[in-house]
Structure 1
Amino acid sequence: MTELWNWRIDGAAPVEVYPALAEALGRVVMPLAVADPARLPAYAVVCDVWEAPGAYGTVVDCYGVPERLPELPSIAALARLLDRNCLMRDDTLDAGRHLLVTPDGTIRPVHFDVVETDDGEVLSDQRLCTVADPRCRGWSQCHRSRWAPDSVAPALAAA
């Protein structure tokens, strides 16, 4: 079985992302635009990287990621290699809640305002997921997450 990963990066050019992805994943990374399914090596991961408007405007989709390849250490390695903050979706159904992965490998839940546009989701107004915020208290979706408000963890310990 394979997985789909969807990440966002704070200000990295797509041309920088592909080689960093290959190193972070320890795999050949094929850009979606040139990937020929009939000629893909078995160990390759197909990725699409593009620029979107708003915060964390570099979007990364990785297709066919082997199930045994762990996502948290992979995105932490990418953040470190690019020296950029990265985002991935968390385990709630809240479209504005993400996990922020910093270059030092720290993971913490954050919220954004999300607006759907013709160019995809636009993120703005980043804020920490914390019990100090009334929207994150009580019975919010934040408390149903593995990543409770105010949680901070290193990527390798969180995997």
Structure 2
Amino acid sequence: MIELWNWRIEGRVAAREIRRALADVLDVPVLPLGGVDPAGVPQGALLVDVWHRPGDYPTSVDCYGVPAELPEVTAIAAFARRLGRHCLLADDTLDAGRHLLVSANGTIRPVHLDVRDTEDGEILSNQRLCTALSPRCRGWSPCHQSRWVPDSVIPALAAA
């Protein structure tokens, strides 16, 4: 089974810059997904698809063939530090508006965003911290069933 990582990045970032950062962080060959002959893909290579849409996190990244032994949060923390940009990944609640924010220094914490579907794709906006002070995050909300409970902060050194 091929594992997939899907991330969002603040601002518009060129696909070439993303592939270069991933290659540096993961120490594997990184190739664009489109136009690659499957027979010519080197063993252990990562295939990456990048596209842009509107919103606060307009750059989307899909990574195929990720290293099984590397936890996704560790990889994205190193990737965010390498790029110097905040990144988002879906958390474990299945709530479309709840994500993990990985800051440019690699610190990880849960956040909420408004999600709006448009002809140009899903738009994320209005980022808010997931905190026990928020009525949405109190009590029996999905936030408390997550590995990343409200007010969780995983410092950069622990994340990498």
Normalised by the shorter chain, which TM-score bucket?
Answer: over 0.9
Q: Which residue identity lines up with residue 109 of structure 1 in the other structure? A: P
For structure 2, which runs of at least 5 residues remain unmatched after alignment?
none
1: CA distance between counterparts of 2:4 and 2:157? 20
Paired residues of 1:14 and 1:51 also in contact (CA < 8 A): no
Aligned position for 1:6: 6
SS in structure 1 at match of 2:35: coil
Task: Tell me the alpha carbon deviations over residues 26-55 of structure 1, each in whole angstroms, 9 at most, x when there is no partner.
Answer: 111110113221111111010001111101
- 2:158 maps to 157
Q: In structure 1, the residue corresponding to 2:149 is in which secondary structure?
A: coil
Matching of residues 3-152 of structure 1 within 5 Å: 3-11=3-11, 12-152=13-153
String of CA shifts for 1:105-139, please: whole Å, max 9, x gaps.
11000000001122221101000000111000011
- Does the residue aligned with 2:109 lie in a helix, a strand or coil? strand
Q: Contact conserved, 2:107 with 2:155, CA < 8 A, in 1?
A: yes
Q: After TM superposition, which residue ranges in structure 1, 4 or more long, deviate above 2 angstroms? A: 12-15, 154-159
User: What is the deviation of 1:101?
Assistant: 0.5
One-letter amino acid of the structure 1 residue matched with residue 154 of structure 2? A
Aligned length: 159
Tell me the CA shift for residue 65 of structure 1: 1.1
**Displacement of 1:155 after TM fit?**
5.0
Percent identical? 65
How does the TM-score come out when normalised to structure 1? Answer: 0.94
Q: What is the CA–CA distance in structure 2 between the aligned matches of 1:7 and 1:104, rounded to whole Å?
A: 16
